[in-house]
Amino acid sequence: MPDSESSGATPPATLANRLHSGELFAPDCPSRIVLQHVSSRWGVLVLVALLAGTHRFSDLRRKIGGVSEKMLAQTLQFLELDGFVLRKSYPVVPPHVEYSLTPMGTEVARHVEGLADWIEDNLPRILDEQRSRQVS
């Protein structure tokens, strides 16, 4: 079976192929910033939380235990800038702001949800490995 270079076919744009081609390894690659926003601890949790539907800021903060107001606001701003989160502000007093996923946000959230699910499903194995590698 000929490889894609000799046949002239373009290889699929998988992460493995992009990593191999060096794009993500380039220090100025803009995808690194997006990857950081999506794969950060708070980014993953915000995206997965918003898969359940629209949330107000305070609801998200309660749902995502341990996140500071500053970090949640920053994470939401980054994800909004990347086009993953929609922020809707209502002109009322007190201010009423809701956050939801855009269609692209839903796509990326499903991917990070898969990773989070895998970690949860394999947590006993991971913890066993961590314990076995600790130096006494």
Q: Quick: pLDDT tens for 60-100.
A: 999 999 999 999 999 999 999 999 999 999 999 888 999 99
The domain ranges of the chain are 30-135
Helix (H, G, I), strand (E, B) or coil at 107: helix
Domain with residues 30-135, CATH architecture? Orthogonal Bundle (1.10)
Kindly state the helix (H) or strand (E) to which residue 135 belongs, with its residue range. none
R_g of the chain computed on alpha carbons: 19
Mean pLDDT on 97-107: 98
- Angle subtended by helix axes 31-39 and 41-50, to nearest 10: 70
As a whole number of angstroms, the distance between CA 105 and CA 85 comes to: 6
* pTM for the model: 0.80
**Above pLDDT 90, what percent of the chain?**
71
- What 8-state DSSP symbol labels residue 96? E
Q: Select from 7, 3, 36, 37 the least CA-distant residue to 20.
A: 3
**Residue 119 half-sphere exposure toward CB, CA atoms < 13 A:** 9
Q: Position 9: which residue type?
A: A
